[in-house]
Amino acid sequence: MTLTVFSDAVSWEQNLRRVREPKALASFAYAQASALLYGNGTWAEAAVLEEEGHIVLHPYLRRPIPQSPHRSDLVSAFEFGGFWCSAEDPVLRAELLHRFALRFGDWASAEGIVTEFIRLNPFLPDDGIEKGGYQLRWHQDHVVLQLDGPIDTLRQRYNRARGKQVRQGQRNGLTLERVDDPTMLCRLLHANLTRLSAKPFYFFPIEFLRALMPVSVVFHVLGPDGSVIGAHMYIVDGDVLFAFLCHADAESWGLRPNDFAYDAVIGWAVEHGFRTLHLGGGAEELFRYKQSFGPDTIPYRQARRVFLPTVYRDLADGDDSRFFPTYRRS
């Protein structure tokens, strides 16, 4: 049983080809793009446990801790992370994940890594990691659409109000086009975040969005005059499509650009062989909006781990807030 840690693209992609699950969210490109969001010396890294021909691949971002520059902590690439495995048998898989967690914990402690926080990919099994030292917490449910029929059948799952608003968008002459440039998406994102007084972190730079293009698709919503009034980005991960950034011009909301876009993308996804559209969660109003396209949900959990408890307590300095890791609470 060997544990290897690396940050180069060649080693990363060689190991990525060995795992079973869809690989975009575990790719070097996705992790490298996510590292741009954190800056300040953050880099993409991955650990691989190999045992008897099977592997567990765990990608993450490694960040220096400002209060203790010689130490670091780990976070999953934005938005999801987890553990990718080559084993198909669920019992063997759980055993491998358990042994990975134990071995990785020893390595992280020796490396001076204090904590890890993972936003777990809801489509990946994680049996075994809790017994290996991770604490799992349910965060909320996420809305998912099973693309198991033609678009006319899937529309029957929309609630009455959403179906009406989709038809309004269609009557308003909106159209959807796939594009290769996220510039307009970035502009709409920043305009909406400014309007909402959002935290600076979420003002994603154009460099980040461009770096995601190898693992994503971007669509423009065009108004009746051909102008761009909305833009959506989706991460492509095997037969799952993840809604990542979906924004529209606030002055054009009356034309129903987002309602139209979600419906049009669902039709596009069905035509291109996707099996699932992950719409995600959010605050109550946003969650209900997403669920108006279909009632199905999937649990979304997070994983936490403290590798160096004494160091963590010192860095927390008596702060017992629920935020994790406490020393990063601003």
Position 329 confidence tier, pLDDT thresholds 50, 70, 90: confident
pLDDT of residue 230: 98
pLDDT at 320 exceeding the cut of 80: no
126 plus 166 within the same structural domain: no
- 156 and 130 in a single domain? The answer is no
pTM value is 0.94
| 172 plus 132 within the same structural domain | no
Statement: residue 189 has pLDDT above 90:
yes
- Start-to-end CA span in the chain (Å): 40
Residues 318, 269 within the same domain: no
Contact 26, 13 (CB under 8 A): no
Q: Which two tokens stand for residue 180?
A: 């290769």
Cα torsion 64, 66, 68, 69: sign? positive
Beta bridge partners of 248: 230
The residue with tokens 């029929």 is 149
pLDDT digits (tens, 9 = 90+) for 25-84: 999 999 999 999 998 899 999 999 999 999 999 999 999 999 898 999 999 999 899 999
Q: Where are the beta strands (DSSP E) in 195-251?
A: 216-222, 228-237, 240-248
Is residue 95 located within the same domain as residue 15?
yes
Judge whether 293 lies within some domain: no
Mean pLDDT confidence for 261-285: 97
Give me the mean pLDDT over the 87-114 stretch. Answer: 97
> Does one domain contain both 268 and 320?
no
Domain region containing 108: 2-140+301-328
Mapping DSSP to helix (H, G, I), strand (E, B) and coil, where does residue 100 land?
helix
81 in Cβ contact with 25 (< 8 Å) = yes
Same domain, 39 and 117: yes
Q: How confident is the model at residue 317 (pLDDT cuts 50, 70, 90)?
A: confident
Domain CATH number, residue 55: 3.40.630.30
pLDDT for 124 equals 94
Structural domain count of the chain: 2
Q: In which region does residue 18 sit, left (phi positive, over 0), alpha (psi from -120 to 50) or beta (all else)?
A: alpha
- Same domain as 168, residue 65: no
Residue 268 is predicted with a pLDDT of: 98
